[in-house]
Structure 1
Amino acid sequence: MSTSYPTEHESAHGQAAEAGAADVHHWKEPVSGTSHPEADRLAFWAKAAELLEWHTPWHTTQSWTPPNPETGRGPDIQWFAGGRLNAAVNCVDRHVTAGRGNRVALHFEGEPGDAESVTYADLQRRVNQAANALERLGVGLGDRVVIYLPVLVETIVITLACARIGAVHQLVFGGFSAEALRFRVEDTGAKLLVTTDGQYRRGSAVPVKANADAAVKGLTVDAGGTVEHVLVVRRTGSEVSWTNEDINGNGLGRDLWWHDVVETAAEDHQPQFFEAETPLFIMYTSGTTGKPKGLVHTTGGYLTGALFSYLRLFANPDPDRRADDVHWCTADLAWVTAHTYELYGPLAAGATQVIYEGVPNVPHSGRHFDIIQQHRVTSYYTAPTLVRSLMGWFPDGVPADYDLSSIRIAGTVGEAVNPEAANWLRAQVGRDTVTSDGEPALPLVDTWWQSESGSTVLSPRPESAHQKPGSVAQEMPGWGADVVDDHGHPTAPGVQGHVVLTHTGPSMARTVWGNPSRYYTSYWEKYADRGWFLAGDAGQRDHDGDIWILGRTDDAINVSGHLLSTIEIESALISHPDVVEAGVAPAYDATSGHAAVAFVVLTEAARLRLQRDRAAEPSLLNALRNHVAQVIGPVAKPRTVIPVPEVPKTRSGKIMRRLLTQLHDGEPLGDTTSLQNEPCVPQIQKICETRRTAPAKENTPV
């Protein structure tokens, strides 16, 4: 059974609404209680799609074939069938054609202090050159290009060049190991790997090319693989090994310099236009067990979701004032947050934004505030983990000599923001936005979404006067979500359940690359009869109907029948003045089945105090356990509190709690190559082995 929804509208080339001028804040949102809710929802998305420039209009807004338990396949989802467009044209060319070529697209800030501002006209020239270079290298429609670069202008240029010619891009975090990179090159069957000689990280130039060489060894065409070339950006001047051999028979060596191939290419390029369902990129999820899943996102639907949600959440509500917007999403470009709110969403809107190469505390802890002040940033979108780090670096608040008055809105993403971090962000970064009583009034959009959804699903509205720090509030227009039990029944207020998507938007991933059955078993199998997507997160509604995310479903801790939220315990720990960050994980316990074990990152002051007096540690750790008992209740008191230098996180900032369990209990570790801070794993492992707080499991029932 399938359903399709034709729509009549004008969406031909040149007839699309100017994205930057669209007043999406006052659009009528679809309401589930109307007499034609599905028709209203699809009409809404049809209107959102008209924010884009379409070369050919579409004839069917959405078609949907439900998941099939018999064949083990997820739903067949298509949006805007018949429509043709080009993502790069929408992100660059149309703004130049409209006379906005002199507007700054990117304010680049390098970690060493180098900087560059790139206009839309200049970005168009560079993307055209890169597109011509890609075609010279034999890359075309449907070919995969793996991009292993830090946050550079070149990273955005090559990504848009892939979109321009119909190649499928896969961005890999520049800090990933050769093993993690190799998996992605092999799994995608990449034709080209784009990398750099080195990258700046924490004040040092770190070699990168050697990782690229190791990743493609045995995967090049002369060895029976798919890789034909390695394109290298010169960033640090690091020494590199080089392969000049013409393995592809096209007269070019395997390794090529960016400045030789791209910067010498022609500056004019004629774009092609592709069907809306043409794959745009592959986004790999990360985890501590199993291989990463390559989620496939397509062009028309993804770009619609990215553009609309950027405008709705971050753009000035007054279209006439958007020329003053300066957006900054602090995510690495390889993460889906950056794809949507640092690449495609802001650029499709013609916005000006900041991109920053380095870490937030090099050369000093106020680097982000320097950048906000210099570029007059208006929207600041970051991870709760970074906010908590800033809290630790500035225990007395952000110094008054930083001018942060340009900030109009802040946002968080990655995992639920704890109330302490949310309140600090509003009060310190948004200190110039206050009520008449001097209370924080900075809008905070605590967004919840996933690599799978492609754009924001749940978020408070920026104009909402009722901020609930820690709550992701309600669905974005055109999406449907709920919190349900194992049988699909909505849970009562305050009762934990599974977060599900009852209606998906056009930015939803279509499948898992090369493994469609995994798409079904991972997301659709549990509620296949209802056609719901299982997000894998636990949540609950409050008495107002707002949703609170409680962490991954498998991160919940069942202590003697009491289901405890890891995030709630972490928030309690972080509220203690000696704790900067915390990761709480379930650990084996012979009596209660599980016990909560807390890994804490202490403030610098607390660390120095313990260094001076080691006898003070037991007292502090006991105080932290009692603090949790006081904030939540005795049942939530961690059995053990372990100080660590860092907690392991994915590149999206999510704490890998299952990995903490494995480290604590001495179990075999799963895949750790996708972590943003993998070096902390052996450090924590050594700490756990030294402390020996895990009880023996032999002959003890669970």
Structure 2
Amino acid sequence: MGLQEERSRSSSGNGGREEAGAGGRARSWSPPPEVSRSAHVPSLQRYRELHRRSVEEPREFWGDIAKEFYWKTPCSGPFLQYNFDVTKGKIFIEWMKGATTNICYNVLDRNVHERKLGDKVAFYWEGNEPGETTQITYRELLVQVCQFSNVLRKQGIRKGDRVAIYMPMILELVVAMLACARLGALHSIVFAGFSAESLCERILDSSCSLLITTDAFYRGEKLVNLKELADEALEKCREKGFPLRCCIVAKHLGRAELGLGDSPSQSPPVKRPCPDVKGKLKEKSKRVQPQGVVHTVGGYMLYVATTFKYVFDFHAEDVFWCTADIGWITGHSYVTYGPLANGASSVLFEGIPTYPDVSRLWSIVDKYKVTKFYTAPTAIRLLMKFGDEPVTKHSRASLQVLGTVGEPINPEAWLWYHRVVGAQRCPIVDTFWQTETGGHMLTPLPGATPMKPGSATFPFFGVAPAILNEFGEELEGEAEGYLVFKQPWPGIMRTVYGNHERFETTYFKKFPGYYVTGDGCRRDQDGYYWITGRIDDMLNVSGHLLSTAEVESALVEHEAVAEAAVVGHPHPVKGECLYCFVTLCDGHTFNPTLMEELKKQIREKIGPIATPDYIQNAPGLPKTRSGKIMRRVLRKIAQNDHDLGDTSTVADPSVISHLFSHRCLTLQ
């Protein structure tokens, strides 16, 4: 049975294709009865009851969930204390003060010894080539994690040490991060698509004492010599006076293990107070320097376990597949910790959606009988270009719930995902969250929430959203403004590593008393939330946040570039792409060779994901009389939109005319 479609009286009958900002009511799809019958949350009424309790009685709500996990010592202090108001003192969030636990014990030992899931498959690993496959049970994973934690211990890694991990999507990556967690060390996982300079930057920022990497891997047809990049990064660290203690290399292409040797197969977990940091994730910020987002053990564990269970309506027989890389927060929360905390079987995929052909994802879905599938709108838009046949030639009969993550999904892509991939029978959970939040914040629940294409719908348990105007006033009913959260949830970040002042300034200073997401949001007449985009200078490229300041910094490091400005431009596949304006130094000529040099420089400084689609020569940039670059105007020029609004503050209006007449030929 397919999803039931609901059409309001004011519907325009356009198949749900209204954009997030459009007027009127978008059509909605109700959960199919067969999903609701077996769902953990079977109705909208039940969702509202649980949400109300989670917000009004957070100690009781999360305290009940905490009882399902192992705690070395129980909570001895207040269950929740916090301050979100910078005018009242230091910002802090404390959950379950005094309790101690170990997240590795909870996701492995507890499942093997207490829940008797030792023989259950933890991961089905699918390599870059279709014939490269293996699997690992919870018991086998526990043994390997214990062995490798002993390797790390022999290398002097102790509780509180930082370990950088620079690896592709292989089982050894999971082993490495869990081994760190077992010892109480902080793992800083660097996406394997980042450059040597980016890796060096993150090692220095975290003061890592050890690096774990891989010899090489294939991404599609491309060979990535990761060890060479790691060596280059380590040399850069040495040049900057920070030599690492050790580098451990997994010989992936030879499939050798992680230097396990004769290490003992048992390793006692190190207990950690719940306010202790679990791990660090690198997230781009408005400044050039990336920031280390610090999450803590107890709260993060509770939140990713709970969001995984309810958002994907997880049941013991499910096979879950999140296509995200573990180098990003989605991979941390919904490839590793969330699924393992629930005793789930998951697919771990090394390859890309288009290799060896564009039906690869659906081949894997059939191969492992995937029931819950979680991917990015970028991937959906990419595969849409190839039509329905690569999808429909595979059964996909096992699929029950589909999910999206990384950016708001446009209604056209949602409808194709629902109609073609889900055969009009699978609920779609369009999830909004951030690296900083640890887990889902706004999301449908498969058995409870009527869905509107493009809307993240309603807040998850414990989440109290509000929409503010420019003056910090809460807006009621239908409204559009700044999305903020009024109280903490267990998965919230606790600080920026080594820079608490930056944490307070970035997330709490603009509107005291609220956590500020940095996103704009609209709430419609039915109470649904629609994310309208970033309100700062971040770009969302293929679901990855990039700082315009960081890209501009990379551009001006080239000897030919005097000044640069970077804005976002709509892209049919990536959502957004980079459109760069560069002003050259005297004596340099703008030509195709220079354009390629600039793209190469950005790839090396930041990574391939930041490669600009468009670079325009800009003899001058539109600036105010005080010298501030008017990026609002540049965005209009990039999109060939002559409706500029008020330009009375522009110092030299002729600059705008010149840029319009010499703009790049764009796809949209």
* Coarse TM-score class (shorter-chain normalised): 0.7 to 0.9
Match of 1:425 in 2: 417
Cα deviation, residue 31, structure 1: 6.1
SS in 2 for 1:261: coil
Match of 1:506 in 2: 490
CA deviation map 1:547-586 (0-9, x unaligned): 1001101379xxxxxxxxx99xx9xxxxxxxxxxxx9x9x
SS in 2 for 1:551: strand
1:699 aligns with one of 646, 652, 656: 652
CA deviation map 1:590-644 (0-9, x unaligned): xxxx9x985545xxxxxxxxxxxxxxxxxxxxxxxxxxxxxxxxxxxxxxxxxxx
State whether residues 287 and 674 of structure 1, in contact with CA within 8 Å, keep that contact through their aligned partners in structure 2.
Answer: no
Match of 1:660 in 2: 579
State whether residues 80 and 97 of structure 2, in contact with CA within 8 Å, keep that contact through their aligned partners in structure 1.
Answer: yes
State whether residues 331 and 382 of structure 1, in contact with CA within 8 Å, keep that contact through their aligned partners in structure 2.
Answer: yes
CA distance in 2, matches of 1:154, 1:53: 25
1:290 aligns with 2:209: no
Of 185-194 and 90-99, the range deviating more from structure 2: 90-99
Match of 1:378 in 2: 371
State whether residues 159 and 270 of structure 2, in contact with CA within 8 Å, keep that contact through their aligned partners in structure 1.
Answer: no
1:142 aligns with one of 139, 160, 166: 160
1:677 aligns with one of 608, 612, 617: 608
1:516 aligns with one of 500, 523, 528: 500
Amino acid in the other structure paired with 1:79: W
CA distance in 2, matches of 1:23, 1:463: 5
Cα deviation, residue 272, structure 1: 2.0
Amino acid in the other structure paired with 1:368: L
CA distance in 1, matches of 2:367, 2:235: 44
SS in 2 for 1:456: coil
1:542 aligns with 2:534: no
Amino acid in the other structure paired with 1:88: C
State whether residues 359 and 391 of structure 2, in contact with CA within 8 Å, keep that contact through their aligned partners in structure 1.
Answer: no
Amino acid in the other structure paired with 1:207: N
Match of 1:43 in 2: 60
In structure 2, do the counterparts of structure 1 residues 381 and 29 end up closer, same or farther at CA, with 3 Å as the change threshold? same
**What is the 5 A alignment of 1:471-490?**
471-490=455-474
**What is the 5 A alignment of 1:17-96?**
25=41, 40-59=57-76, 60-69=78-87, 73=90, 75-96=91-112
SS in 2 for 1:554: coil
**What is the 5 A alignment of 1:301-450?**
301-316=299-314, 322-393=315-386, 395-431=387-423, 440-450=424-434
Amino acid in the other structure paired with 1:488: G
Match of 1:554 in 2: 536
Q: CA RMSD in A?
A: 3.5
In structure 2, do the counterparts of structure 1 residues 264 and 288 end up closer, same or farther at CA, with 3 Å as the change threshold? farther
In structure 2, do the counterparts of structure 1 residues 521 and 223 end up closer, same or farther at CA, with 3 Å as the change threshold? closer
CA distance in 2, matches of 1:553, 1:461: 27
Amino acid in the other structure paired with 1:699: D
Amino acid in the other structure paired with 2:271: F
CA deviation map 1:496-522 (0-9, x unaligned): 300001122111000001111110111
CA deviation map 1:373-428 (0-9, x unaligned): 000000100100111011012x2454433010100101101111111111111111
Cα deviation, residue 82, structure 1: 1.4
Cα deviation, residue 324, structure 1: 1.7
With the length of structure 2 as denominator, give the TM-score of the two structures. Answer: 0.76
Match of 2:475 in 1: 491
Amino acid in the other structure paired with 2:608: N
CA distance in 2, matches of 1:441, 1:295: 38
State whether residues 112 and 203 of structure 1, in contact with CA within 8 Å, keep that contact through their aligned partners in structure 2.
Answer: no
State whether residues 54 and 461 of structure 2, in contact with CA within 8 Å, keep that contact through their aligned partners in structure 1.
Answer: no
CA distance in 1, matches of 2:615, 2:217: 28
CA distance in 2, matches of 1:687, 1:101: 61
SS in 1 for 2:199: helix
Cα deviation, residue 32, structure 1: 10
Unaligned 5+ residue runs, structure 2?
Answer: 1-37, 549-564, 585-589, 620-633, 641-646, 657-668
State whether residues 71 and 101 of structure 2, in contact with CA within 8 Å, keep that contact through their aligned partners in structure 1.
Answer: yes
CA distance in 1, matches of 2:516, 2:64: 28
CA deviation map 1:34-55 (0-9, x unaligned): 7x98651221111222232212
SS in 1 for 2:173: helix
CA deviation map 1:263-305 (0-9, x unaligned): 4311111222111111111111125752111110010000000
1:116 aligns with 2:123: no
1:164 aligns with 2:182: yes
Match of 1:253 in 2: none
SS in 2 for 1:503: coil
In structure 2, do the counterparts of structure 1 residues 468 and 177 end up closer, same or farther at CA, with 3 Å as the change threshold? same
CA distance in 2, matches of 1:201, 1:288: 30
Match of 1:562 in 2: none
1:228 aligns with one of 245, 251, 261: 245
SS in 2 for 1:428: helix
CA distance in 2, matches of 1:672, 1:536: 26
Amino acid in the other structure paired with 1:384: P
State whether residues 149 and 174 of structure 1, in contact with CA within 8 Å, keep that contact through their aligned partners in structure 2.
Answer: yes
SS in 2 for 1:81: coil
State whether residues 398 and 429 of structure 1, in contact with CA within 8 Å, keep that contact through their aligned partners in structure 2.
Answer: no
Of 57-66 and 480-489, the range deviating more from structure 2: 57-66
Match of 2:278 in 1: 280
In structure 2, do the counterparts of structure 1 residues 101 and 674 end up closer, same or farther at CA, with 3 Å as the change threshold? farther
Amino acid in the other structure paired with 2:138: Y
Amino acid in the other structure paired with 1:103: K
SS in 2 for 1:304: helix
State whether residues 497 and 539 of structure 1, in contact with CA within 8 Å, keep that contact through their aligned partners in structure 2.
Answer: yes
State whether residues 423 and 469 of structure 1, in contact with CA within 8 Å, keep that contact through their aligned partners in structure 2.
Answer: yes
CA distance in 2, matches of 1:260, 1:475: 41
State whether residues 478 and 527 of structure 2, in contact with CA within 8 Å, keep that contact through their aligned partners in structure 1.
Answer: no
In structure 2, do the counterparts of structure 1 residues 263 and 152 end up closer, same or farther at CA, with 3 Å as the change threshold? farther
State whether residues 186 and 280 of structure 2, in contact with CA within 8 Å, keep that contact through their aligned partners in structure 1.
Answer: yes
CA distance in 1, matches of 2:568, 2:143: 54
CA distance in 2, matches of 1:383, 1:51: 31
With the length of structure 1 as denominator, give the TM-score of the two structures. Answer: 0.73
State whether residues 67 and 524 of structure 1, in contact with CA within 8 Å, keep that contact through their aligned partners in structure 2.
Answer: yes
Of 347-356 and 257-266, the range deviating more from structure 2: 257-266
CA distance in 2, matches of 1:145, 1:229: 10
Identity of matched residues, %: 31
Cα deviation, residue 70, structure 1: 8.0
Match of 1:622 in 2: none
